Structure 1
Amino acid sequence: MAFSVSDRFSGNVRNAFRNLRQSEEEKPSATQAINQPNTINEAFAYAALNSPKNEIRLVTISPGAFLETPVACQLSHASLDESPRYEALSYTWGSPVDPIAITLNDQPFHVTRSLHDAICHLRLENASRTLWIDAICINQLSIPERNAQVRIMRTIYRQSQQTLIWLGPAFKNSDLMMDFIGWEDERLLNPTLDGGDDEWAAARYYRAMQEPRLLHIWRALSELSQRPYWKRMWIVQEIAFGTAPQVCVGTRSASFWDALMRVLSSLSAELDMEHPGRPLNHPWVELLAENKALAIGRERKDINMPKGPSWLAAALLRYRGSLATDPRDKVIALLGFLDEGSVAYDQLITVEYSRPVRDLYLDIFKFCASEPRLARTQSQSHTGSNPKFTLNYTMSYNRATVLAAEAEGRTLDDDEMHVDYETEEAVSRAHGPLNILTAAGIRDKGTDNFPSWLPHWGRDSSTLSIDDLSGNRYTVSGKTPPVYVLSEEDKILHASGVLLHKLTHVGDKIQNSHPNPVELVRSVVSWYRLAEKHPSASNPFERSYFWRALVFDSYLNPYFSEAPRQWYDMDLDSLIQTAEDSMVPGRDRIDLSVLANELLLMLQKTTRGRRFALTEEGLYTMVPEEAKTGDVVVVLFGCDIPLLLRRVHLGRHWVVVGECFCYGIMDGEVVDGLKEAGLLNITAQDFEIH
């Protein structure tokens, strides 16, 4: 089987590697970022809501001239059918430990310190202010009420006059940052405001954004993007459906959201247009790396697009790292999006907080696996239940010119680096109904009586999915429809597929969950040596294949289907030197290390929770940390990513270890080959998975 190595460049984030490891003192605690059940007001008597009238409660906050003024509020009922006037609050609940008492309806009512800060900062000096605040307006001790209120949550935020996004007290340069974003937003909306044509304005704008004097602004914006608020699961729905979002930091509030999206998108576009090997603004890269605000901004932009099972499966993977104390909320928080597409999800999914978590997650599995694998056309492609498209930008670089410039040690000029975006080509992929299995694994087996094939969404995971990192472009099972059945009270999954390769050598785990560049490269070097030491007769050691396997044959920007060829020609010495240089503040990076920094950044993403392995045929594979020799790579019909399975119970049963990447089979080569030879039905077998 022959594999081509791309000779083209693709432009995106350059010359940066973000050290994601923080000291324990700097990390926000989990309880600061999640929804803690409000069990601290058991003595407060709530009057029942009238659900048929879509009743909600609203809290009216009395004015307060100073932050220290005691908080006094009144609680009232209102019907959404009558369009009441109120604002909705989106915030971080915080820890219930050491709450603060406020006065609610002339009675003591305890709130978290995080909510108390928000109320004190957001109340007005000379007038009352009416808000919807979930911790106060929903009786958290009433399961029937919680069941009813979460079903109308999107309506609550959508009908509000505006949504207040409380990101906490002011911090260094936060006021300057908010003023600056407003100014930049005005320039982005009207680039020729100061005179000149569009080309002149774009050049001036880019130069201004690069000015060193703005460094503190980008650092402040980066700090804002890393606040615990962004880890909450419910904010995805709150922001996406919220009316006129206002970002609130300290005593400052501004129509910030649309401006923030335009500025972040502009920075991303500027990085995309950079030439390979050019030094870049590192604070920009740190700001844009895994920016949750940008991801939620896309959900808001596509809010009216129909969404179904495939969207839900992808969104659950995308936001799996978000936090919620009640594990049910990890999926319930996304169900409101399905209502937009009039998807009858309640026929398969029962939202009931008293149900066992396993039962709710089983509903999610059945719903996500219910969508048939259908052929899609380009015109059908966008979001929701339609497949994603990978944009394959064919660059118009002249190969001889590139090589000549490299030999001369010079940087190509703009004409030589011209990119012809008119060659954009969209490639469709139909959704694999069993893609939901890629979120499962043995790490969840035994948790709440979960079988290995059922994803446990309540388990926090920093591992990013292969599908998401690769731009959703792989179809390992071709166009095969799923063949599966659940048995024995939904405890066993019988699924058909093809057993491919057994693991014979498994690399060491990366010891640190958030390794610095040197620690990461140390593990990568050991994997490289393992691959060198154990070539097979049919697959001798090939450096480019090794790197392709480690990065899922993908690039930092999933809209580009290939990475620059320099990644796959990378030698270990260059990578080691770059890792060491990145640990020295202020160290200048040479052009060669620019590409090595890119590779390191991608490796930081792809290696989380994974390690390298070799199959008996010598194929390079990235597998879950729990993998061990003897596990097998399996292609299940209707699943776009390979799974790693393990035999148990004397070899009669199987468990899912997790998803894996196996270089050389990801585009359906094996399944298509068996089809052409008329052997697919003969080779297929049933896997009884527990």
Structure 2
Amino acid sequence: MVAPLWQKLETLEQHLDRLDLAVNTIMKHLNITIPGSASDTVQKVTLGSDAGDKVSSPTLTGPYKYKVLDHGKAEIRVLALNGTNDESQEISGSLVHISLEDKQTSAVKRYNALSYTWGEPKMNRRIVIDGHIFFVTQNLENALRQMRTRASRTAGISGDGINQADIEERANQVMLMRRIYKSALYVEVWLGEAVEGSALAMDLINKIGRPPIRGPGQKEVLYPEFSEAEVRQHWDSVRLLMTQPWWERSWIRQEIALGVRTQVFWGEYSVDFDTLSQAVMAIEYADSLGHNIPGAAVDRTKQSPSDQLVNLSFYHHARGIRTLRKNTHRGHAFLALPELLLHSRYCKATDERDKIYSMIGLADMEIYRLSPDYQLSLHEVLKSTARAILPKKKGLRLLGACQNPDRNHNLPSWAPNLVDHWKYHPFEPDDSQHFISTAEPQVEFDNDAMLVKGVIFDSVSQLCKEKVPTDPTPEEFDDVYAAWHRFAEEALAAGHLDESRFKSLPSINRNKEFFWLHFLSTNRTTSRYLKYSDDDKTVLLPEREDGVKMEYMGLNLKLARRYLLPGSSDLELHPLRRIRAALKKYGAGRQLGLCADQKTLVLLPGDARPGDLVAVFRGASFPYVLRKVPKDIGSADQDETVLVGEAFLPEDGFNMAFSFGNRATSSDVIRVI
């Protein structure tokens, strides 16, 4: 009974507000001034610096009627806010149509784009647009109020206005989003109102993300000293910053990747996004050193089953957005849609279909031929997206976004499951080393079955019992590494790994870190900084910092350590630092297994089972684990499988799989449902 009553009170309050505004309008019309009102104030509608003065319109009753946009001219609506000298005054403005095609329109280059999240989905704040009341969330009203304050000191303020009730317009405007944000003078990110810790976080980001210049003729850098309690406070503040709801929303990826000049605001505090990106790299560096980060430990006894799937670092979203912005070269390069959808599964969206539609603006639609269609259901959108991507070059990388052998949500196992949480982090493909088949993919569809050319490489014969915890300590990484090494040694001794066939396998016992780092990181170049003792080639030496400096170019590593590591921390890099980092990146949710026929180790999904098949598809970056479907469940006259997930083989196994993939014939077709 409480909720309906509260809703009725809110509705009544809104009616009273409208009546109050209507009375004010009548009194203005009769030239009657209410004592203490500001009804005679002349305000300025600013659209860039060229807008003129305009007296604010009286408030009108009735619903607002959107003027139809001319899609042929790529028109958008821009909200031009009325200026004011009184910050407490109600937000008001006008919706102005501008064309992105009109190169003579100076306003196109003079609007600012707002990137924000709704916050609490409660429309209990109002603004006035062209005399009509619009009810908005408190977070949006706060953002507009801050933008208006800054605009009164600088240039104009604008934001795109979409009629969400018009499905056709909504789809059309989605396709224009990349042009809207790329053409904006500034993209202003609004994280929300400042809270306790905001000032410290933004100050810290500015200091470690924009360190003082060091070089001949430059002032000597003074490195501060902090207690362990102060360092803990630093981590708490940046964790608070990077766990604000804005970071996990799907649409903001496109907005930031394409915005040439982007400023992040948290209440009255701000930081340039490029400075923030550098600070994220400093945080990643400090985390990679292998120390127990203050406040990072999780009480696993209090975790829900969903929490135990795969752990995300608190700066995961910030790092992902930084990567997108870097790889698009701020909007000058398209990205592969399969890789974009690997990002999008980490995100949240009010409409789950927007996990697709928010990403297509960063991809080349001449290749994928996709467009937003809000009349399709979610599972139809996911299936049609997969059908558009999988047959294309590098399209099979989309299979890393599935992780759905049980075919939940009415999806086939080959369609991207962007609904559930990740079971494990997907591999990051690298064209120089991850193409297990250089041939073009050959994929067709038979209703909800994917027909893909490929061969069965082997089956899973044995699994190691030890798995990487979802939120492991450095010591737990070491325990898993030792257990996996024992598993490999025992398989070698039992003849399940044939060292006479594999040149790299003796390195399991000698210079073993070279083998394991290549394997666990899926990267042949990661071990270039590993060094062994001259008198005993099995003794790994601590890593030199020279290699780390190359990885984190542009950072002042000493300054980052001072702010983010307690003074008592051992600054000597741990010999197994890179092994730990590889297990942290790809280990959680995965397990180590053995393929007996080909006598090779294999890195498998955590839900793989003995008897599962390891397949090589034409045009694929990685092998994939398949599971046979019982005849009473699948088609009675055809062998069918479901996709379990990605796999990875050590280098010699990879070379064998490569030869398997290139010998596939036209008759080698695998049916995946």
Cα pair distance change 1:505/1:279, threshold 3 Å: closer
**Residues 225, 291 of structure 1: 8 Å contact kept:** no
TM superposition shift of 1:234: 1.6
Match of 2:611 among 622, 625, 630: 630
CA–CA separation in structure 1 for the residues paired with 2:392 and 2:189: 35
1:484 and 2:443 matched = yes
Secondary structure in structure 2 of the residue aligned to 1:467: coil
Q: Relative CO higher for 1 or 2, CA cutoff 8 Å, sep ≥ 6?
A: 1
525-534 or 148-157, which deviates more? 525-534
1:503 and 2:527 matched = no
Unmatched 5+ stretches in structure 2 = 1-61, 296-312, 499-504, 541-564, 632-637
Cα pair distance change 1:297/1:105, threshold 3 Å: same
Instruction: Calculate the TM-score normalised by the size of structure 2.
Output: 0.67
Cα pair distance change 1:551/1:143, threshold 3 Å: farther
1:445 and 2:407 matched = yes
CA–CA separation in structure 2 for the residues paired with 1:315 and 1:566: 39
Cα pair distance change 1:629/1:565, threshold 3 Å: farther
Instruction: State the percentage of identical aligned residues.
Output: 23
TM superposition shift of 1:245: 1.5
CA–CA separation in structure 1 for the residues paired with 2:111 and 2:586: 44
Match of 1:167 among 178, 186, 191: 191
TM superposition shift of 1:124: 1.5
TM superposition shift of 1:64: 6.2
CA–CA separation in structure 2 for the residues paired with 1:544 and 1:314: 36
TM superposition shift of 1:113: 3.1
Instruction: Calculate the TM-score normalised by the size of structure 1.
Output: 0.66
- In the other structure, the counterpart of 1:149 is 173
Superposed, 1:233-632 pairs within 5 Å as 233-253=250-270, 256-261=272-277, 267=282, 291-301=319-329, 303-305=331-333, 307=334, 311-338=336-363, 344-345=366-367, 348-372=369-393, 432-443=394-405, 445-447=407-409, 449-461=410-422, 463-468=424-429, 471=430, 473-475=432-434, 477-487=436-446, 489=447, 491-508=448-465, 513-516=470-473, 536-539=494-497, 542=508, 553=519, 555=521, 560=526, 564=530, 594-617=574-597, 619-632=600-613
**Residues 341, 398 of structure 2: 8 Å contact kept:** no
Secondary structure in structure 2 of the residue aligned to 1:124: helix
Match of 2:80 among 60, 83, 108: 60
Secondary structure in structure 1 of the residue aligned to 2:461: strand
1:232 and 2:249 matched = yes
475-484 or 162-171, which deviates more? 475-484
TM superposition shift of 1:324: 1.9
**Rg larger in 1 or in 2?**
2
TM superposition shift of 1:465: 1.9
**Residues 391, 443 of structure 2: 8 Å contact kept:** no
TM superposition shift of 1:684: 7.8
CA–CA separation in structure 1 for the residues paired with 2:607 and 2:71: 47
Cα pair distance change 1:687/1:252, threshold 3 Å: same
CA–CA separation in structure 1 for the residues paired with 2:590 and 2:90: 51
TM superposition shift of 1:89: 0.2
Cα pair distance change 1:345/1:164, threshold 3 Å: same
**Residues 499, 633 of structure 1: 8 Å contact kept:** yes
TM superposition shift of 1:658: 0.6
Deviation per CA, 1:432-456: give whole Å up to 9, x if none. Answer: 4423223333346142x32112223
- In the other structure, the counterpart of 2:305 is none
Cα pair distance change 1:268/1:96, threshold 3 Å: closer
- In the other structure, the counterpart of 2:21 is none
Q: Quick one: which amino acid aligns to residue 656 of structure 1?
A: L
TM superposition shift of 1:212: 7.3
TM superposition shift of 1:304: 1.5
Deviation per CA, 1:592-626: give whole Å up to 9, x if none. Answer: 88234543343222123322323335532222222
**Residues 49, 77 of structure 1: 8 Å contact kept:** yes
Secondary structure in structure 2 of the residue aligned to 1:152: helix
CA–CA separation in structure 2 for the residues paired with 1:304 and 1:105: 36
Q: Quick one: which amino acid aligns to residue 613 of structure 1?
A: G
Q: Quick one: which amino acid aligns to residue 159 of structure 1?
A: S
Deviation per CA, 1:287-310: give whole Å up to 9, x if none. Answer: 9777234323303535323x36xx
1:123 and 2:89 matched = no
CA–CA separation in structure 2 for the residues paired with 1:623 and 1:674: 19
- The number of residue pairs the alignment matches comes to 544
Cα pair distance change 1:464/1:48, threshold 3 Å: same
Cα pair distance change 1:603/1:317, threshold 3 Å: same
Deviation per CA, 1:304-329: give whole Å up to 9, x if none. Answer: 23x36xx2222322443122232322
Deviation per CA, 1:138-191: give whole Å up to 9, x if none. Answer: 122221111010111122122322111112223456446656766778766x65
152-161 or 218-227, which deviates more? 218-227
Cα pair distance change 1:549/1:282, threshold 3 Å: farther
Cα pair distance change 1:238/1:191, threshold 3 Å: same
CA–CA separation in structure 2 for the residues paired with 1:647 and 1:546: 35
